[in-house]
Amino acid sequence: MKKNPIWLSDVLAARTRVTNIICQTPLRSSLPLSEKTGKNVYLKLENMQPSGSFKLRGAANAILCLSDEARSRGVITMSAGNHGKAVAYVAKIVGIAATICVSELVPQHKIEGIQRLGAAVIVAGRDQDDATEKALSIARKEGQTFISAFDDRFVISGQGTMALEILEENPEIDAMLVQLSGGGLMSGVALAAKAINPAIKMIGVSIENGAAMYESIEAGKIVPVEEVPSVADALQGGLPFDNKFTFDMCRRFVDEIILITDEQIEKAMAFAFRQERLVLEGSGAITIASLLLNEPKNVGGNIVAILSGGNVDVDQLMEIVARHDGLSS
C-alpha cells in the first residue's frame, strides 16, 4: 500500500525556497486561441524560465533541499535534456558539481546548452533506461545524489509552484492543459490545483507514439513503451517499474488524456511562432496542438494551457515554420 506522501504544504514550502532562482512567468491570454475555441484561453509561459523550461522549478527545489555534505558530493541525473539543463543551471548558481547522463536520442543543441553551463555530459546508450542505469552506477561509485527528472518528492513539489502562480492570478480557471510524460509536471500541478479547487479539471496531453503514462493508466499497471523519435523530444521515454509517486498521482488526478501526432505538434509550433510570437519546442507547443483540434471539449470556459519549454533548435523551428502557415489545424 502506497500513500500519497506529497501535500500542498510541500508545494508552499517549495515556493519560498525557489523564489530567488525561478522566474514567476506570465499568464497571458490568447486572442487567437480564444477565438478558435470559443473559450477564454490563457497561456502559462514556462518557456521564459531562464533555463528555457519549467524543469527549473523542480531542480531548484531538489538541490536547495540537499545538506551541505550532500552538496559537496555533487549531483547526477538522467535527462531528455531540459531537466539536465535545469540541474546544471541551479548547480552553477549554488556552486556545486553536476553530471548529466543523456541517451543518444537527446538533440545536440540541448547537450551543448548543458555543457555551456559547466556541467559534465555523458552520452550513454540508446534510450533513457540505458542512461539511467549509467547515472545510477556512477552515483553508487562516486557518491553524487541522483535527482530524478520526475519521480522525486522535491521535484514534484517544485513543479507544483506553477499552479499556485496560475490560480493566484486567475482563480476562475476551470481546466488546465498539461504536458504528460513521466508525470512530474502533472503530479505537482494537479496536486496543488486540486487542493485549492477540487473542481478544476486536469487534462494531460501526450505524444501519440510512446505515451508511457497513458498506456500505463489504461493498463492499470506500468507497461513498457518503445521510445520512438518525436518532434516533442522532451516527452519521450518510459516509466521505470519502480515508480514511487507519479503513476499513482496521475491515476488519481488526471481527468482526461489527449494524444497528439508529430504533424499536429509542428502546426502548433508554427501557430505559436506566427500568431503568438512565441518560440516553443515541440513538447511546449503540444497543449496548443490540442486546442487547435478543439480538444478538450467538456470543460468550462476558462482554460490555461501550459507552454512547458522553448529549448528548440532554431534552424529546425524555422524549417517547421516555413512548412506550415500557422493558421489551420
Ligand X SMILES: *Cc1c(COP(=O)(O)O)cnc(C)c1O
Residue nearest to ligand X (CB): 309
**How many angstroms separate the CA atoms of 149 and 191, rounded?**
17
Query: Residue 93: how many CA atoms within 13 Å on its side-chain side?
Result: 17
Sheet of strand 120-123, all strands in order from the earlier edge strand to the far edge? 120-123, 98-102, 75-78, 145-146
Residue 20 Cβ, how far from ligand X at the closest point, in Å? 22
Q: What angle do CA 252, 258, 260 make, to 5 degrees?
A: 140
> DSSP 3-state helix, strand, coil percentages of the chain (rounded to 5)?
50, 15, 35
Residue 57 Cβ, how far from ligand X at the closest point, in Å? 11
* Footprint of ligand X (CB under 6 A): 53, 55, 82, 150, 179-186, 234-235, 281, 283-284, 308-309
**Closest to ligand X by CB, 40 or 200:** 200
**How many angstroms separate the CA atoms of 298 and 295, rounded?**
8
Query: Residue 296: how many CA atoms within 13 Å on its side-chain side?
Result: 23
**Closest to ligand X by CB, 125 or 284:** 284
**Closest to ligand X by CB, 32 or 309:** 309
The partner residues of 123 in beta bridges, in order of sequence, read 102
Residue 167 Cβ, how far from ligand X at the closest point, in Å? 19
Residue 115 Cβ, how far from ligand X at the closest point, in Å? 18
Residue 34 Cβ, how far from ligand X at the closest point, in Å? 23
**Closest to ligand X by CB, 74 or 204:** 204
- Whether the Cβ atoms of residue 216 and residue 35 lie closer than 8 Å to each other: no
Pairing assessment for the beta strands 40-45 and 27-29 based on DSSP bridges = antiparallel
**Closest to ligand X by CB, 50 or 171:** 50
Q: Which residue has the cell 490555461?
A: 304
- Whether the Cβ atoms of residue 42 and residue 28 lie closer than 8 Å to each other: yes
Residue 143 Cβ, how far from ligand X at the closest point, in Å? 26
**Closest to ligand X by CB, 40 or 271:** 271
Residue 142 Cβ, how far from ligand X at the closest point, in Å? 25
**Closest to ligand X by CB, 58 or 326:** 58
